[in-house]
A and B are shown apart, each in its own frame.
Chain A
């Protein structure tokens, strides 16, 4: 059973459960179906993803920043506001983000949600703090992720 089948299966389970007796978990679907599906999809991903799928080539965590990666990433910003206005770009970007290793995907998502890489304010959560890695490691993987995204999107003829 794949993730999509799992999500569908559980949704049907809720519908069937509701037939027998009021199922309050369906309220959530009624209020915001897409958010409820997103949550179900995340739960299903957690159940399905094996350690192998999650491999994120982290290594020592204190690797040297590759000059090539840094140069290739340059000033590239996948969240350019003009590009994000285009629906097709957003769809392609989602696909490209999905292809990243889990560690990089989390970094990219936090950057998208404007979480800082590092913060001197202990009350402000940073990517470095959430992922338990140094700022340098986060920056290295951010650059790697951006290079991957750029290459994937270029392949699709978007840039």
Chain B
């Protein structure tokens, strides 16, 4: 077993999963070495001990799950989880294709835009630009607002709690003029 000196929970559990052999004392060794993850190790041992019935044909539910996964891959739409973990560039690139300032991309990433202030047409455009579905973008916007730690640390002003604001306000604060606003909100 490799000792993971600067380990994360994920490192330890992955290493355990790789080392695990039922009844071989691996769990005992990991419990001694990583007591803070003991319950997770026991639960993972349970999953790793599980018997798979590879001989049975896939059920209708299994096939539906495979189809849904393949469908997602083919459509290449991204999930809420991916959107949450996506870097700022994903958002700023997406809004650039719509001719919007990067502030909108950052606000979108940080869930600072009040969803109710985004028209369904604008929402559909944003979703398309992000390769996501409208439902995923809405679910993302519904998450609590947050601020970028990196940008906050570079700021010379005192940090304040993030809040949701209207899309229009973000556009105005980014310097969009009336023409640009009108174009974005009314353009088909």
Interface residues of A (CB under 8 A from B): 4-5, 8-13, 15-17, 19, 28, 31-32, 34-36, 38-39, 41-42, 45-46, 87, 90-91, 93-94, 97, 105-106, 109-110, 112-115, 123-125, 130
The docked-state distance in angstroms from the alpha carbon of A51 to that of B76 is 35
Inter-chain contact B47/A41, CB cutoff 8 Å: yes
Inter-chain contact B81/A10, CB cutoff 8 Å: yes
Inter-chain contact B31/A112, CB cutoff 8 Å: no
B12 to chain A, nearest CB (A): 11
Given contacts A13-B79, A16-B78, A125-B38, contact A42 B43 (CB under 8 A): yes
User: How many of B's residues come within 8 Å of A, CB to CB?
Assistant: 39
The docked-state distance in angstroms from the alpha carbon of A19 to that of B73 is 10
B residues 70-91 near A (Cβ < 8 Å) are: 72-73, 76, 78-79, 81-82
Contacts of B46 on A, CB cut-off 8 Å? 42, 97, 105-106, 109
Contacts of A19 on B, CB cut-off 8 Å? 76
Inter-chain contact A16/B82, CB cutoff 8 Å: yes
Q: Which residue of B lies closest to A4 (CB)?
A: B65
Contacts of B175 on A, CB cut-off 8 Å? none
Contacts of A45 on B, CB cut-off 8 Å? 43
Q: Which residue of A lies closest to B68 (CB)?
A: A8
Given contacts A113-B27, A123-B32, contact A38 B17 (CB under 8 A): yes
Contacts of A10 on B, CB cut-off 8 Å? 81
16 additional A-B residue pairs with CB within 8 Å, beyond A39-B17, A110-B42, A113-B28 = A8-B65, A8-B68, A10-B81, A12-B69, A28-B14, A28-B17, A31-B18, A32-B18, A39-B47, A87-B51, A91-B51, A94-B49, A114-B23, A114-B28, A115-B27, A125-B28
Inter-chain contact B35/A112, CB cutoff 8 Å: no
The docked-state distance in angstroms from the alpha carbon of A113 to that of B47 is 12
List of 9 A-B pairs having minimum Cβ-Cβ separation, nearest first: A38-B47, A35-B17, A125-B31, A90-B51, A113-B27, A109-B46, A130-B38, A12-B69, A38-B48
Q: Does B159 contact A (CB under 8 A)?
A: no
Chain A facing B: main interface SS: helix
Q: Which residue of A lies closest to B43 (CB)?
A: A42
The docked-state distance in angstroms from the alpha carbon of A36 to that of B10 is 11
Q: Which residue of B lies closest to A95 (CB)?
A: B51
Contacts of B23 on A, CB cut-off 8 Å? 112-114
Q: Does B123 contact A (CB under 8 A)?
A: no
The docked-state distance in angstroms from the alpha carbon of A114 to that of B139 is 45
Q: Does B176 contact A (CB under 8 A)?
A: no
